[in-house]
Amino acid sequence: MSTITGGTQMTDAAGAGASTAATVTGAPRRRRPRPRWWLYVVLTLGLVAMVMPFVWMILGSFKTNAEIRQYPTNFWPLDPTIDNYTQLFGRLDFATFFTNSIIVASFVTLGNIVFSSMVGYALAKLEFRGKRLLFLLVLGTLMVPGVVTFVPLFVLTANLGLVNSYPGLILPFLITPLGVFLMRQFMLSLPDDIIEAARIDGAGEWRIFARVIMPLCGPAVATLTILTFLASWNNFLWPLVVATTEDKYTLPVALALYSVGQNAAQYGLMMAGAVVVVVPVLLIFVVLQRYFVQGIALTGIK
């Protein structure tokens, strides 16, 4: 908005100063940018393409099997039914998978907030030997993909006797380099004066951390909470490897295994399963979308 206004003023001035020169350069044509209706059209078509799978998923979850076998498939469910959801939470145990996902994501999020904040504080505000090394370790593993570590991680988990257990699902994700990086970046922006003042008042570092620093970290903690919870909620490869019986499946694992198993052809049922995984996340996202943008801002790029 401001770019456009600024630009218009500039060309106005140029036009007023030397109208002939302005005509030659074609500046007056850009004086008042035409409403770019075609951009709206293109962006709206793109938007439809982006959200259509979600719409299709929700509509499909209310369709009967008979309706699904028709071709061409109706867009709107002719005979809306909640039978798919009844089956999902009755015949299949989606309530358990949902609870598992919540449990795992909650502990993972809590761990990340506590541990990332602690090490973030040390990296941002304390001076100590080995600080550079510690930070390099964090940065170096920022981009190590899960596929590289999952085999030895599984051997380790098996030897600790944690296969098919909540600790096995949770422990490897209690810390993430990204979380540390995010908290450090945010804490760097907090003024040193308040810490100095607290030190002069005789507060120890732990007290300063808990009573002075953390209360100021609300926005960073909110961002970290959302990003970590979602990452855990959507996490797939590790739960797929570690959860070996149904009572420990998380939602994506259950959904993936059912979708390639004997329920694969149950279109409506699978759509309902996808809705249960996706829609809560979409709602959270729409309500809290500014924190997502903030997360990207905090982790390095302006």
Partner 1 sequence: MVALSPSAPTPARAPARASRRGRRATLVAWGFAAPFLILFLVFMAGPIVASLAMSFTDLTTRDLQTPFNVDFVAFENYVRLFDDPRFLRSLLNTSIFVIVGVPLTMALALAVALALNTGIDRFRTVFRVGYYAPVVTSIVAIAIVWRFILQPDGLLNAFLGWFGIQGPEWLQSTTWALPSLILMAVWRNIGTLMVIFLAGLQGVPKEHHEAAMVDGANAFQRFGNITLPAMRPTLLFAAVITGIGFLQFFEEPFVMTRGGPLDSTLSTAMYTYNQFGFGNYSFASAASYVLFLAIVALSLIQFRLLGRRD
Please list every residue from 78 through 97 that binds partner 1, using CB under 8 A: none
Establish if 230 lies at the interface with partner 1 (CB under 8 A): yes
CA atoms of 234 and 253, how far apart (whole Å): 9
Q: Which is nearer to partner 1, 102 or 230 (CB)?
A: 230
Select from 77-85, 86-94, 102-110, 143-151 the region that touches partner 1 (CB under 8 A).
143-151
What part of residues 44-63 is at the interface with partner 1 (CB under 8 A)? 46-47, 49-54, 56-57, 60
CA atoms of 144 and 260, how far apart (whole Å): 29
Q: Is the dihedral of CA 257, 260, 262, 265 positive or negative?
A: positive
Establish if 224 lies at the interface with partner 1 (CB under 8 A): no
- Residue 88, judged by CB atoms within 10 A of its CB (0-12, 13-18, 19+), counts as buried
Establish if 11 lies at the interface with partner 1 (CB under 8 A): yes
Establish if 1 lies at the interface with partner 1 (CB under 8 A): yes
Q: How far is the CB of 163 from partner 1 (least distance, A)?
A: 10
Q: How far is the CB of 102 from partner 1 (least distance, A)?
A: 14
Long-range CB pairs of 201-205 (<8 Å, 24+ gap) are: 205/126
**Contact with partner 1 (CB under 8 A): which of 18, 40, 207, 247?**
40
**Contact with partner 1 (CB under 8 A): which of 39, 66, 191, 261?**
39
Q: Which is nearer to partner 1, 44 or 106 (CB)?
A: 44
* 292, 294, 297, 299 alpha-carbon torsion, rounded to 10°: -70
Cis bond before residue 177 (omega within 30° of 0): no
CB 85 within 8 A of CB 272: yes
CB 243 within 8 A of CB 256: no
What part of residues 153-182 is at the interface with partner 1 (CB under 8 A)? 153-156, 158-159, 171-172, 174-175, 177, 180
Establish if 189 lies at the interface with partner 1 (CB under 8 A): no
Establish if 203 lies at the interface with partner 1 (CB under 8 A): no
Which residue matches tokens 């959302």? 226
Count the residues of the shown chain that bind partner 1, applying the rule CB under 8 A.
108
